[in-house]
């Protein structure tokens, strides 16, 4: 046989199947480009050392793995779809006298072409966008801008090798498809009548249970440790629930509608309900895929944008002042405070704000209006764990510049965002009247609590009361007891560089404190917090891009394969006397339902995921729920717009096929 | 007045890219009286399906007109054409054209549902029909669960349930084995005896021999017709074979 036959045939096959292959190739190219970018960023020396931190590099290294695995799974999946569509074509080749090994050869050439095309174009695109991404990241972490292109030969190599391996595995899968096919079957495939799907009520109910269990976890989890532990459980439950409900629940519901004769035998319902049963059987898994991917995109993007948008709040929550000191001795704090102030003013800066406080922070389990202090490990339900911060009325009045008074057994309470619905509060067997619920409290009191539990500030009438509480908690906790903390916070003006220098000098002064202490400063904290948040954000963007692309492709393929199937049904209906209008109306309503079902479900999932996500964001000290809500809504709106655009485009190719 | 009148039909197909023009029908005229059973025969590509599609208003003629009950199809408004087709015509196709996603019963109900009939009323219609066609037990099955002959009987039921003026059948026996063919032909004869007008396109001499009249189409024209008169099915069969021989040899002379 002519040597050029196979390469030529392969090329013409791709161009003949361009309706399905073109999007596939685009997908390959984008996947390659994203992988290259991520890999190159992880190697980029400009990101290696942003003031000693390697978050970005390390995070991008992690992203490499995720993108690589995603690429394998996704390209494998799409290729399987393409191969199934081409069964008939292979059958025809077979009958025309080509043996399976000849077909395999042709497919080998096809794979080679697609690999070469996507590897070269993808890498080129990656190199082009790499610089842009680098600049965006450096800007986000406020690092130093490095000019000039960074082209990593190492990244190019890794990309080419990885995708060579992936395409080879995908090619092996194509061979399997060709091998298991029988020519007769091949020619007939498609014309075999479709079976009516069985409704599996049990699975549908199981799906609903899983879904609500997942939702429940998200809503009910109050503390961060449980949030981290149960987040993945909730995700898995919701995914299982989604698949079960889409595959079985939808069909069970439709069949229920069909059983209702009065409803079912109405012109409009008759065509739609039966059409939907048929469609759901074909597409339930595809729709569930779309729904899960969309949810992933939404959750990822909304949480990372919330992080990004709230990074300043997070930083201030973590470091209420530029320099924060916490120690257990009043004297050393006072002398240190004076030393630092001298230092700052000696360097020619102005102290803008300086506060000190003495308070006691104790963990307690909240049971309605009574708080139990038990040994750690006996907390039981982490959800009801609270952080109680006690301070005396004198301290409070001094800090806030107020002149409040309290009788014995009266307290003031500040609960932050959390509501406290009772008028009394009891702790250590003492019952206090709450004289007033405070609207706010000085920043300095935030310092001892980096915890993500609900924190309540309790202002006690006098020092004796504070001493009593202190003694009681020492009895319970023994060696683990907290101590009275003396806290100092100082803000001063100056550039970031100057602030770092002063901090370094202040560190030396700590040698004079002959006691234990914790000292932090905001500028250095920012240097490690921002890159971490930025790397999460960009991870979200990269994975979001890939997932969105996967969603688009699955939707597109679904529309095309439905188009070819509906075409025949459409023709039959026309002959039997269904008017074009009626057909169009029914098709339109079905497509709309099928199309928007996943995104509406994804929206509901995201809404229910919101509580647990806000808990997880507390890990980064981001407590701004309103901001997170706004970010989520915006992400959903943008995604929905995107989705509607995909709908318009793919619906067009659908109608083209159907009405040809 | 004839139930169907076809006058000087001409159909030219132009391919999408303009170039090729195919003359599928050149000049076809005939009429069908109420209660007749007419078979149309002709070689492959002679334009039979085209003719049927035009009669069914699924396609438009290039020239000429079709009258159903004296009403010209070209006068029926575009919007009403589907309803018109549904109420006046019943179709039986070679490949059954049952919809996979409907049960047999729902397939039969389809035209009635479209006309807005109630479920009770539809049930009333379907019972005697299903009994006559021997598909009473199959009503709740789905198309993929029944045989070809059974599918075709279901399709006949769908065509008859609206009590159409005219049944149009395009090679209804084409996909059936000989036993199923016999069964279907018997059904056609029976409904014709009950007064139903039938127009059937077929390649099978046996199928055509059941008809009252056979029309032969060649090169887009009605070339020849034979009437049963008082002859039996067997005599009719003989007449048709003879005519086919003459036509094919005559055809050779023409070229
Ligand atoms: N949509 C179309 N576009 C162009 N040409 C067509 C179209 N449909 C049919 N033809 C041509 O018109 C002629 C008549 O076709 P038609 O299908 O009516 O034949 P037929 O008698 O039904 O044949 P068969 O017995 O094989 O079914 C053929 O030459 C065919 O190629
Ligand atoms: Mg034909």
Chain-centroid distance, C-alpha A477:
38
Residue for token digits 């801008």?
A145
Average pLDDT over residues A484-494: 83
Among candidates A288, A146, A155, A266, which has minimal Cα distance to A210?
A288
**pLDDT given for residue A512 in this prediction:** 67
Q: Using one digit for the tens of pLDDT, what is the confidence trace for B144-159?
A: 888 888 998 999 999 9
Question: A190 falls in which pLDDT band (50, 70, 90)?
Answer: very low
A4 Cα to chain B: minimum distance (Å):
32
Among candidates A412, A439, A432, A452, which has minimal Cα distance to A369?
A432
Identify residues of A whose CB sits under 8 angstroms from chain B CBs.
192-196, 261-262, 265-267, 270, 274-275, 277-278, 569, 572-582
**pLDDT given for residue A508 in this prediction:** 79
For residues B217 and B42, the answer to whether their CB atoms sit within 8 Å is: yes
- Across the interface, whether the CB atoms of B97 and A278 are under 8 A apart is answered no
**pLDDT given for residue B76 in this prediction:** 86
Q: Using one digit for the tens of pLDDT, what is the confidence trace for A96-134?
A: 777 888 888 889 999 999 999 999 999 999 998 888 888
pTM, whole model, 2 decimals? Answer: 0.78
**pLDDT given for residue A1 in this prediction:** 52
Ligand 2 being an ion, which residues bring their Cβ within 5 A of it?
Answer: B 49
Calpha distance A551→A287 (Å, rounded)? 10
Residue of A nearest to B115 (CA): A267
Question: A53 falls in which pLDDT band (50, 70, 90)?
Answer: low
- Across the interface, whether the CB atoms of B82 and A578 are under 8 A apart is answered yes
Among candidates A171, A176, A68, which has minimal Cα distance to A112?
A171
Point out the residue among B85, B99, B144 whose CB comes nearest to the CB of A572. Answer: B99
Question: Residue B5 forms beta bridges with which residues?
Answer: B31, B67
More confident site: B18 or A351: A351
Count of pairs with CB atoms under 8 A, one residue in A, one in B: 75
Question: A475 falls in which pLDDT band (50, 70, 90)?
Answer: confident
What are φ and ψ of residue A373, in 5° steps?
Answer: -105, 115
User: B54: CA distance to ligand 1 center in Å?
Assistant: 12
H/E element holding A385?
A: strand A385-392
Low-confidence winner among B91-95, B141-145, B248-252 (lowest mean pLDDT): B248-252
**pLDDT given for residue A449 in this prediction:** 59
Calpha distance A580→B225 (Å, rounded)? 37
Calpha distance A151→A172 (Å, rounded)? 32
Calpha distance B218→B240 (Å, rounded)? 15
> In the predicted model, is pLDDT for residue A193 greater than 50?
no
Packing angle, helices A153-180 and A18-43, rounded to 10: 150
Calpha distance A636→A544 (Å, rounded)? 13
Low-confidence winner among A25-34, A288-297, A343-352, A478-487 (lowest mean pLDDT): A478-487
H/E element holding B90?
A: strand B89-93
B105 close to ligand 1 (CB < 6 Angstrom): no
Average pLDDT over residues A542-561: 85
Question: A384 falls in which pLDDT band (50, 70, 90)?
Answer: confident
Calpha distance B28→B61 (Å, rounded)? 11
For residues A142 and A27, the answer to whether their CB atoms sit within 8 Å is: no
Chain B stretch 71-90, residues whose beta carbon is closer than 8 A to a beta carbon of chain A: 79, 81-83, 85-87, 89
User: B203: CA distance to ligand 2 center in Å?
Assistant: 10
**pLDDT given for residue A208 in this prediction:** 94
Kindly list the residues from chain A whose CB atom is less than 8 angstroms away from the CB atom of residue B57.
none
**pLDDT given for residue A47 in this prediction:** 74
- Beta carbons within 8 Å of B234's beta carbon, 6+ residues apart: B209
> In the predicted model, is pLDDT for residue A194 greater than 70?
no
Question: B252 falls in which pLDDT band (50, 70, 90)?
Answer: very low
| pLDDT cut 90: percent of chain A above it | 18
Among candidates B187, B115, B124, B113, which has minimal Cα distance to B152?
B187
Among candidates B120, B56, B126, which has minimal Cα distance to A262?
B120
For chain A, the farthest-separated pair of C-alpha atoms sits apart, in whole angstroms, at 104
Average pLDDT over residues A374-385: 64
Query: How many Cα neighbours within 13 Å face the side chain of A486?
Result: 15
- Beta carbons within 8 Å of A626's beta carbon, 6+ residues apart: none
- Across the interface, whether the CB atoms of A278 and B111 are under 8 A apart is answered no
Q: Whose CA is nearest to atom 26 of ligand 1?
A: B44
Question: Residue A518 forms beta bridges with which residues?
Answer: A326
H/E element holding B23?
A: strand B21-32
**pLDDT given for residue A191 in this prediction:** 44
- Across the interface, whether the CB atoms of A194 and B86 are under 8 A apart is answered no
Where are the alpha helices (H) located in A319-451, listed in sequence order? 330-346, 393-400
Average pLDDT over residues A559-568: 80
**pLDDT given for residue A145 in this prediction:** 65
Average pLDDT over residues A467-471: 82
Residue for token digits 């729904």?
A291
**pLDDT given for residue A447 in this prediction:** 65
B45 close to ligand 1 (CB < 6 Angstrom): yes
Count the Cβ atoms, other than its own, within 10 Å of residue B221. 17
- What's the mean per-residue pLDDT of chain B? 87
Q: Whose CA is nearest to atom 18 of ligand 1?
A: B47
Calpha distance A382→A2 (Å, rounded)? 74
Chain B stretch 52-71, residues whose beta carbon is closer than 8 A to a beta carbon of chain A: 56, 58
Among candidates A22, A25, A34, which has minimal Cα distance to A545?
A34
For A42, the token pair is: 């992880």
Mutate to test the interface with A, among B94, B95, B110 (most CBs of A within 10 A): B110
Q: Which ligand is nearest to the CA of B44?
A: 1
For A477, the token pair is: 């906790």
Low-confidence winner among A324-333, A338-347, A440-449, A650-659 (lowest mean pLDDT): A440-449
Point out the residue among B100, B119, B144 whose CB comes nearest to the CB of A265. Answer: B119
Low-confidence winner among A369-373, A447-451, A538-542 (lowest mean pLDDT): A447-451
Instruction: Using CB atoms within 10 Å of the CB of residue B80, give its burial: 0 to 12 exposed, 13 to 18 middle, 19+ buried.
Output: exposed
For residues B38 and B32, the answer to whether their CB atoms sit within 8 Å is: yes
Q: With the CA atoms of B215, B219, B220 and B221 taken in that order, what torsion angle do they form, in degrees rounded to the nearest 10?
A: -50
Average pLDDT over residues B14-26: 79
Atom of ligand 1 nearest to the CA of B20: 4
Task: Tell me the range of A418-422, A508-512, A518-522 where mean pLDDT is highest.
Answer: A518-522
**pLDDT given for residue A200 in this prediction:** 79
More confident site: B248 or B39: B39
Count the Cβ atoms, other than its own, within 10 Å of residue A487. 22
**Probe ligand 1: pick from B15, B20, B22, max atoms within 8 Å of CB?**
B22
| pLDDT cut 70: percent of chain A above it | 92
Helix (H/G/I), strand (E/B), else coil: A323? strand
> In the predicted model, is pLDDT for residue A327 greater than 60?
yes
Mutate to test the interface with B, among A266, A573, A577, A578 (most CBs of B within 10 A): A577
- Beta carbons within 8 Å of A437's beta carbon, 6+ residues apart: A412, A413, A414, A415, A420
Question: A29 falls in which pLDDT band (50, 70, 90)?
Answer: very high
Helix (H/G/I), strand (E/B), else coil: B148? helix
Q: Using one digit for the tens of pLDDT, what is the confidence trace for A155-172?
A: 999 999 999 999 999 999
Helix (H/G/I), strand (E/B), else coil: A365? strand
Atom of ligand 1 nearest to the CA of B43: 25
**pLDDT given for residue B154 in this prediction:** 92
Residue for token digits 């739609």?
A272
Calpha distance B22→B13 (Å, rounded)? 5
Q: Whose CA is nearest to atom 7 of ligand 1?
A: B13
B46 close to ligand 1 (CB < 6 Angstrom): yes
Q: Using one digit for the tens of pLDDT, what is the confidence trace for B101-112?
A: 888 999 999 888
């Amino acid at each position: 046989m002519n040597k050029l036959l196979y390469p030529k045939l392969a090329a013409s096959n791709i161009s003949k199947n361009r309706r399905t292959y073109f999007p596939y190739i685009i997908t390959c190219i984008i996947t390659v480009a994203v992988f290259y970018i991520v890999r190159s960023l992880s190697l980029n020396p400009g990101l290696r050392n942003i003031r000693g931190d390697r978050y970005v590099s390390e995070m991008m290294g992690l992203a490499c793995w995720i993108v690589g695995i995603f690429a394998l799974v996704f390209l494998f999946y799409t290729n399987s779809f393409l191969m199934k569509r081409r069964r008939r074509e292979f059958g025809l080749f077979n009958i025309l006298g080509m043996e399976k090994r000849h077909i395999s050869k042709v497919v080998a050439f096809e794979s080679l072409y697609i690999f070469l095309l996507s590897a070269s174009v993808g890498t080129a695109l990656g190199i082009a966008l790499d610089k842009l991404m680098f600049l965006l990241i450096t800007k986000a972490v406020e690092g130093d801008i490095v000019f000039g292109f960074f082209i990593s030969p190492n990244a190019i190599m890794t990309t080419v090798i990885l995708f060579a391996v992936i395409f080879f595995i995908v090619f092996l899968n194509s061979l399997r498809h060709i091998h298991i096919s029988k020519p007769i079957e091949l020619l007939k495939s498609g014309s075999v009548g479709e079976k009516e799907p069985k409704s599996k009520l049990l699975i549908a109910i199981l799906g609903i249970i899983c879904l609500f269990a997942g939702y429940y976890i998200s809503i009910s989890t109050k503390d961060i440790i449980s949030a981290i532990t149960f987040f993945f459980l909730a995700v898995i439950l919701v995914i299982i629930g989604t698949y079960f409900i889409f595959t079985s629940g939808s069909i069970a519901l439709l069949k229920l509608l069909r059983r209702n004769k009065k409803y079912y035998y109405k012109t409009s319902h008759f065509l739609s309900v039966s059409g939907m049963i048929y469609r759901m059987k074909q597409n339930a898994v595809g729709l569930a895929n779309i729904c899960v991917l969309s949810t992933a995109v939404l959750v990822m993007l909304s949480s990372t944008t919330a992080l990004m948008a709230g990074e300043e709040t997070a930083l201030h929550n973590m470091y209420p002042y530029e320099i924060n000191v916490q120690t257990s001795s009043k004297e050393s704090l006072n002398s240190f405070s004076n030393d630092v102030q001298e230092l700052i003013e000696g360097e020619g800066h102005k102290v803008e704000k300086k506060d000190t406080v003495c308070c006691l922070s104790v963990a307690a389990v909240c049971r309605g209006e009574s708080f139990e202090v038990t040994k750690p490990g006996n907390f039981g339900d982490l959800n009801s764990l609270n952080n109680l911060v006690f301070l005396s009325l004198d301290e409070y009045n001094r800090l806030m510049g107020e002149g409040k008074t309290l009788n014995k057994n009266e307290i003031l309470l500040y609960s932050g965002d959390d509501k406290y619905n009772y008028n009394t509060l009891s702790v250590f067997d003492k019952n206090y009247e709450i004289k007033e619920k405070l609207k706010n409290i000085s920043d300095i009191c935030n310092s001892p609590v980096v915890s993500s539990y609900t924190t309540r500030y309790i202002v006690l009438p006098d020092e004796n009361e504070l001493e009593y509480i202190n003694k009681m908690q020492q009895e319970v906790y023994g060696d683990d007891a907290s101590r009275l903390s003396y806290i100092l916070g100082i803000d001063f003006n100056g550039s970031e560089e100057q602030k770092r220098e002063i901090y370094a000098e202040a560190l030396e002064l700590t040698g004079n404190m002959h006691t234990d202490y914790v000292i932090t400063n905001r500028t250095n904290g920012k240097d490690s917090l921002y890159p971490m948040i930025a790397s999460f954000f960009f991870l979200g963007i990269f994975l979001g891009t890939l997932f969105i692309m996967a969603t688009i492709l699955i939707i597109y393929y679904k529309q095309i394969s439905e188009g070819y199937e509906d075409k025949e049904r459409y023709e039959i209906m026309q002959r039997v006397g269904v008017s074009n209008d009626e057909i169009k109306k029914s098709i339109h309503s079905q497509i709309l339902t099928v199309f928007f079902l996943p995104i509406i479900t994804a929206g509901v999932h995201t809404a229910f995921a919101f509580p647990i996500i806000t808990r997880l964001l507390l890990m980064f000290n981001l407590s701004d729920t309103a901001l997170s809500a706004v970010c989520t809504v915006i992400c959903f709106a943008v995604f929905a717009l995107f989705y509607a655009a995909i709908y318009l485009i793919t619906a067009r190719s659908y109608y083209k096929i159907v009405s040809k | 007045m004839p139930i169907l009148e076809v006058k000087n039909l001409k159909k030219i197909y132009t391919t999408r890219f303009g170039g090729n023009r195919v003359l599928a029908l050149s000049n076809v005229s005939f009429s069908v009286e109420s209660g007749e059973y007419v078979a149309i025969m002709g070689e492959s590509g002679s334009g039979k399906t085209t003719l049927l599609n035009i009669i069914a208003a699924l396609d438009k003629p290039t020239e000429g007109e079709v009258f159903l009950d004296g009403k010209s199809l070209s006068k029926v408004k575009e919007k009403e054409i589907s309803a018109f087709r549904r109420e006046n015509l019943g179709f039986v196709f070679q490949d059954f054209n049952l919809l996979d996603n409907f049960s047999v019963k729902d397939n039969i109900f389809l035209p009635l549902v479209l006309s807005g009939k109630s479920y009770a009323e539809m049930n009333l219609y379907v019972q005697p029909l299903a009994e006559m066609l021997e598909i009473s037990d199959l009503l709740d099955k789905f198309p993929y669960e029944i045989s070809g002959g059974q599918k075709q009987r279901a399709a006949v039921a769908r065509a008859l349930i609206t009590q159409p003026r005219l049944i149009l059948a395009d090679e209804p026996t084409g996909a059936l084995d000989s036993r199923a063919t016999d069964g279907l032909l018997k059904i056609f004869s029976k409904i014709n005896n009950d007064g139903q007008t039938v127009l059937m396109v077929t390649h099978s001499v046996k199928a055509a021999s059941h008809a009252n009249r056979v029309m032969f189409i060649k090169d887009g024209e009605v070339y020849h017709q034979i009437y049963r008169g008082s002859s039996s099915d067997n005599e009719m069969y003989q007449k048709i074979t003879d005519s086919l021989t003459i036509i094919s040899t005559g055809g050779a002379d023409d070229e």
